Amino acid sequence: MTIAAPPAALPRVFDTGSPVVLPDGRHVPVAALNNAATTPPLATVVDAVVGMLGQYGALHRGSGPRARATVEAVEYAIEAIERFLGQPPENTLLYTTNTSSAINQLARLLDLGPDDVVVTSEIEHTSNNLPWRHQSAAQVVEVRADDEGALDLGHLAEVLDGLRGRVRLVAVTGASNLTGYRPDVATLASLTHDAGALLFVDAAQLAPHRRIDMAASGVDVLAFSAHKVYAPFGLGVLSLPRSVLDRAPVDPGGGSIDMLGADGSVLWAPPAERHQTGTWNATGIVALGAAVSAILDAGWGTIEAHERALTEVLVDRLEAVDGVTLTVDPQRYRVEDRIGAVPFRVAGLHHALVASALEAEHGVEVRAGTICNHRLVRRWVGADDAEQARVEAAMAGGDRLASYGVVRASLGLQNTVDDIDRLVTGLRALVADGPTLSYRAAPAEECWVPSA
């Protein structure tokens, strides 16, 4: 079976054919299976950025032909991003550095008090967990999930009903970076709105894999990162109602005011502008605009079909490797339309050693660890309280390799069955013979490094 990305069908990823040199001297192409962590730029993104830099000028900080060209390029990109999100007309965009910073800003903007409740879940990425606990005074209540990482919607309905009148926000992932699970966003929106709250979706993993229509599905607030969507130029995006912004900015500075009085009084800029302080990341906005335009031009039908086919191959072939255990029932990927993020364990080998050996011996990129979802991974490995305490003490002492974890392979536009075959070949070799190179532990970096 061959699944490729024909130039006429899928956007082309920049320079995917460049080989790497392995420690034994072999030159091999990279099998990039860590796309949930970050994605390479699309070729059209590189072209757009290079073209923009040739006429780059002050954005909102002056006049002249270069300034005008930069403003026009940014405005064109913003329109594309709004289309990509299906953004409601009452919303506007704020630009940050990544999803984490966007969620932190949202938590501060909402100005939640101790009587307010934020409902989140057990399967959230750390970035959609910690901000609600450390950037707000609200009570945080978590919805249960099963061992496969799927939300218990009955429990969510029960929580919302029991806290009716106090819930200000329901904050959930649009797609899990660990298990690929995608909740029914429209159902979440209906339950959330019935409780009088806003629905926030962490779309860092959803945005590159499935069509988003905020207006049609009822999503009020959404955040994602450009580097997950083939535009790695340091941009995060937060789409939220303008009404949330009708307050003093949480990060005041240049561009947030229209006038500063001699007595210190402030005339704030309009709500949609006062929170976008300092010089915007114009390059990142243009890059993201080019990426989402390429995705929309290719069509979600083509992109989703490509990924669904590859996900089925990935799950089928991993399931067939003796010594490899998928931590999510593979049937869930076949019937639930999860995105292509698949966690697994290799018998007898530390998760980080597996990832290091796949890189050094086979040129395969994956991710290993708890992958920002510590509690679900703990459930999978069965760490009791005593083991948890031992792990935490060792890690606090600098040994990050003391952590339990899994290995995750995650798919992107550029992947083919050849990439999956490289992964499976590497895993079979590791199961049969172990690593062929000698490695030294690098506890601070949570990896192993080939010994000289």
Shared domain for 411 and 391, answered yes or no, is yes
Shared domain for 320 and 263, answered yes or no, is no
From first CA to last CA, the distance across the chain in angstroms is 39
d(CA 73, CA 158): 47
Kindly report the CATH number assigned to the domain that includes residue 148: 3.40.640.10
At which of 280, 297, 314 does a domain end?
297
d(CA 376, CA 384): 13
Query: H-helix or E-strand containing 75?
Result: helix 65-85
d(CA 162, CA 2): 52
Q: What is the pLDDT of residue 6?
A: 44
List Cα–Cα distances, 188 to 120, 151, 183, 355, in angstroms.
11, 10, 8, 36
Shared domain for 135 and 210, answered yes or no, is yes
Closest C-alpha to 349, from 327, 325, 385: 325
At which of 297, 314, 329 does a domain end?
297
Shared domain for 205 and 277, answered yes or no, is yes
Residue 227 in contact with residue 245, Cβ under 8 Å?
no
Domain membership of residue 424 (yes or no) is: yes
Domain membership of residue 40 (yes or no) is: no
Domain membership of residue 12 (yes or no) is: no
Shared domain for 147 and 23, answered yes or no, is no
Other Cβ atoms less than 10 A from the Cβ of 332: the count is: 19
d(CA 204, CA 180): 12
Specify the DSSP class assigned to residue 267: E
Other Cβ atoms less than 10 A from the Cβ of 308: the count is: 18
Interval 82-104: pLDDT, tens: 999 999 999 999 999 999 999 99
Residue 148 in contact with residue 222, Cβ under 8 Å?
no
Identify which has the larger pLDDT, 68 or 323: 323
At which of 297, 319, 334 does a domain end?
297
* Residues 231-239, mean pLDDT to the nearest whole number: 96
Shared domain for 49 and 89, answered yes or no, is yes
Q: What is the pLDDT of residue 279?
A: 83
Domain membership of residue 7 (yes or no) is: no
For all residues of the chain together, what is the average pLDDT? Answer: 93
- 266: tokens are 């402030």
* Residues 312-322, mean pLDDT to the nearest whole number: 97
- 395: tokens are 């890690």
Shared domain for 218 and 82, answered yes or no, is yes
Q: How confident is the model at residue 387 (pLDDT cuts 50, 70, 90)?
A: very high
Residue 218 in contact with residue 186, Cβ under 8 Å?
yes
Q: How many domains does the chain have?
A: 2
Residue 130 three-state SS: helix
Q: Which residue has the tokens 């690593």?
A: 435
Above pLDDT 70, what percent of the chain? 97
* 43, 49, 51, 52: CA torsion to nearest 10: 160
Least confident of 12-21, 232-241, 405-414: 12-21
- DSSP conformation letters of 294-356: HHHHH-HHHHHHHHHHHHHHHHHHHHTSTTEEESS-HHHHHHH---SEEEEEETTS-HHHHHH
d(CA 379, CA 367): 19
Shared domain for 260 and 307, answered yes or no, is no
Please check the confidence at residue 429 and state whether its pLDDT lies above 90.
Answer: yes
Q: How confident is the model at residue 72 (pLDDT cuts 50, 70, 90)?
A: confident
Domain membership of residue 63 (yes or no) is: yes
Residue 149 in contact with residue 376, Cβ under 8 Å?
yes
Residue 411 in contact with residue 340, Cβ under 8 Å?
yes
Instruction: Give the contacts of 429 (CB within 8 A, at least 6 positions apart).
Output: 361, 362, 436
Please check the confidence at residue 7 and state whether its pLDDT lies above 70.
Answer: no
Kindly report the CATH number assigned to the domain that includes residue 369: 3.90.1150.10
Residue 340 in contact with residue 209, Cβ under 8 Å?
yes
Shared domain for 257 and 125, answered yes or no, is yes
Domain membership of residue 6 (yes or no) is: no
d(CA 417, CA 266): 59
- Please, what's the b/e burial string for 377-387 (b: 16 or more CB within 10 A of its CB; e: otherwise)? bbbbbebeeee
Q: Which domain holds residue 317?
A: 19-32+299-450
Above pLDDT 90, what percent of the chain? 83
Q: Which residue has the tokens 């031009």?
A: 297
Domain membership of residue 3 (yes or no) is: no
Least confident of 62-66, 160-164, 438-442: 62-66
Shared domain for 133 and 223, answered yes or no, is yes
Shared domain for 248 and 210, answered yes or no, is yes
Shared domain for 181 and 317, answered yes or no, is no
Interval 164-213: pLDDT, tens: 999 999 999 999 999 999 999 999 999 999 999 999 999 999 999 999 99
Domain membership of residue 261 (yes or no) is: yes
H helices of 205-299, in order, are 214-217, 271-274, 282-298
Q: What is the pLDDT of residue 56?
A: 77
The model carries a pTM of: 0.94
Q: What is the pLDDT of residue 9?
A: 83
Closest C-alpha to 342, from 310, 295, 383, 374: 310
Please check the confidence at residue 57 and state whether its pLDDT lies above 80.
Answer: no
H helices of 86-184, in order, are 99-110, 130-134, 153-162
